[in-house]
């Protein structure tokens, strides 16, 4: 019989690779990869992106000569395992939980292909039990970190302890021959890294009070990958912020209403840092002061967009900073992904 206790985020952690690329290095690399672009346009794109630095597991020359899909995917498999291992160990340590106590592991990634999934070698490295339930999530893009938290909450309601790990090597999706503006924006915005969370009924973190999903109609081409012999080529429509401007507030209001809440009951906004314009649209929709989105902005500044792992880095920054909503209010978690879709969660401090 399932317990009535709410699942909690017992711990969350971030891991990033060793090589750091600042704004000036990014401009230099992009000008070499996109020689037909106006230098001032590229400079303006990078400096206005909200991203000050990003982390990569390989030196910049690998970005300039990324290789074919086989080479990129091999690098993905190697680096993703190392990052996932580091993030998981730190999350388990913070939760004071032995790896052998984990009942479910949710492995989230969309920037490479590994069969068997990443959770197989990860289970051996971490010392997870042979009977651990493994659930790989591979095709939900940037929304998948929040989706993983939602699924973890459902498992944890039954008393299981869940380890969520999201790891992305966005650099592995750079297609050198693609001279599109979408690929240029991707090259300026996305970084590499991992996030992990422990979700269980015990722990001192916030309770996951409710979770939900929303699929925006007629937006299938707004975001995703074009999959072919070239590998995974980014698809990113310029109209994305406008789609969110039209449809996001009604979707969030509907989710809150179903769970007995309204926009005024949200005291902390934990948003996937999809980019500067996405944050600006969200802030305008809810008439928020700039400081209200300080954790998504800080995650974007430090790491860039880490796709599915980004929402976990936002949670990590917020928890480390002691953030919590005012009494009687809750935190709203929002992430966007292909579909176009949104994954949502309500976090509550002190709830039983």
Q: Is 142 a catalytic residue?
A: yes
**Which of the following is catalytic: 29, 88, 110, 142?**
142
Alpha-carbon span 241 to 32, nearest angstrom: 28
* Residue bearing tokens 């500067």: 276
pLDDT for position 202: 85
Q: What share of the chain is helix, strand, coil (3-state, %, to 5)?
A: 45, 25, 30
Domain 207-348: CATH superfamily, name plus number: Thiolase/Chalcone synthase (3.40.47.10)
Q: Which residues contact 195 (CB under 8 A, 6 or more apart)?
A: 12, 13, 14, 15, 87, 145, 165, 166, 167, 306, 309, 310, 311, 312, 313, 315, 316
pLDDT value for 1: 40
Instruction: Beginning with the edge strand found earlier in the chain, give each strand of the sheet holding 330-337 in spatial order.
Output: 133-137, 104-108, 162-169, 192-200, 8-15, 207-215, 341-348, 330-337, 266-271
* Neighbour-count burial for 280-306, b at 16+ CB within 10 Å, e otherwise: ebbbeebeeeeebbebbbbbbebbbbb
From-to residues of CATH 3.40.47.10 in the chain: 8-200, 207-348
CATH class assigned to 8-200: alpha beta
Determine the Cα–Cα distance for residues 284 and 306; give it in Å rounded to an integer: 23
CB atoms within 10 A of CB 61: 9
3-state secondary structure of 283: helix
Burial bucket for residue 154 (CB in 10 Å: 0-12, 13-18, 19+): middle
Residue 331 φ then ψ, to 5°: -100, 140
Tell me whether residue 177 is exposed, middle or buried, using C-beta atoms within 10 angstroms of its C-beta: 0 to 12, 13 to 18, 19 or more.
exposed
Cβ atoms 189, 83 nearer than 8 A: no
pLDDT of residue 352: 56
How confident is the model at residue 307, as a pLDDT? 93
What pLDDT score does 351 carry?
A: 61
Three-state SS for 6?
A: coil
Q: pTM for the whole thing?
A: 0.93
Instruction: List the pLDDT tens digit at each of the 352 positions of the chain.
Output: 445 789 999 999 999 999 999 999 999 999 998 999 999 999 999 999 999 999 999 887 777 777 788 888 899 999 999 999 999 999 999 999 999 999 999 999 999 888 899 999 999 999 999 999 999 998 888 889 999 999 999 999 999 999 999 999 998 888 777 778 888 888 899 999 999 999 999 878 999 999 999 998 887 777 777 777 777 767 666 777 888 888 899 999 999 999 999 999 999 999 999 899 999 999 999 999 989 999 999 999 999 999 999 999 999 999 999 988 989 999 999 999 888 889 999 999 876 5
pLDDT at residue 152 in the model: 97
Q: What is the pLDDT of residue 297?
A: 96
Answer for the pair 147, 106: CB distance below 8 angstroms, yes or no. Answer: no
Q: What SS3 state is found at 97?
A: coil
With residue 168 as reference, give the H or E element that holds it: strand 162-169
Q: How far is CA 102 from the centre of its chain?
A: 22
């Amino acid at each position: 019989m399932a317990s009535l206790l709410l699942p909690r985020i017992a711990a969350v952690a971030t891991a990033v690779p060793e090589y750091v690329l600042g704004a000036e290095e990014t401009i230099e690399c992009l000008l070499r990869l996109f020689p037909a672009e106006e230098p001032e346009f590229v400079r303006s794109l990078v400096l206005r992106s909200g991203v000050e630095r990003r982390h990569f597991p390989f030196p910049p020359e690998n970005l300039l000569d990324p290789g074919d899909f086989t080479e990129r995917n091999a690098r993905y498999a190697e680096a993703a395992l190392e990052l996932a291992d580091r993030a998981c160990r730190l999350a388990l340590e913070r939760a004071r939980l032995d790896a052998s106590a984990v009942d479910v592991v949710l492995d989230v990634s969309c920037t490479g292909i590994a069969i068997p999934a990443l959770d197989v070698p990860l289970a051996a490295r971490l010392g997870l039990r042979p009977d651990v339930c493994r659930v790989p999530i591979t095709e939900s893009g940037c929304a998948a970190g929040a989706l993983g938290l939602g699924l973890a909450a459902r498992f944890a309601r039954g008393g299981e302890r869940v380890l969520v790990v999201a790891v992305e090597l966005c650099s592995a999706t750079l297609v050198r021959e693609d001279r599109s503006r979408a690929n240029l924006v991707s090259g300026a915005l996305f970084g590499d890294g991992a996030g992990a969370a422990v979700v269980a009924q015990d722990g001192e973190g916030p309770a996951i009070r409710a979770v939900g999903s929303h699929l925006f109609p007629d937006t299938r081409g707004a975001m995703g990958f074009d999959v072919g012999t070239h590998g995974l080529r980014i698809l990113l429509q310029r109209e994305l912020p406008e789609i969110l401007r039209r449809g996001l507030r009604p979707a969030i209001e509907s989710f809150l209403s179903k769970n007995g809440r309204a926009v005024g009951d949200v005291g902390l906004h934990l948003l996937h840092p999809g980019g500067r314009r996405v944050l600006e649209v969200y802030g305008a929709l809810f008439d928020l002061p700039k400081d209200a989105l300080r954790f998504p902005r800080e995650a974007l500044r430090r790491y860039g967009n880490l796709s599915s792992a980004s929402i976990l880095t936002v949670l990590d920054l917020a928890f480390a900073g002691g953030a919590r909503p005012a009494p009687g209010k809750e935190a709203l978690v929002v992430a966007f992904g292909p579909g176009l879709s949104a994954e949502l969660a309500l976090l509550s401090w002190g709830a039983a």
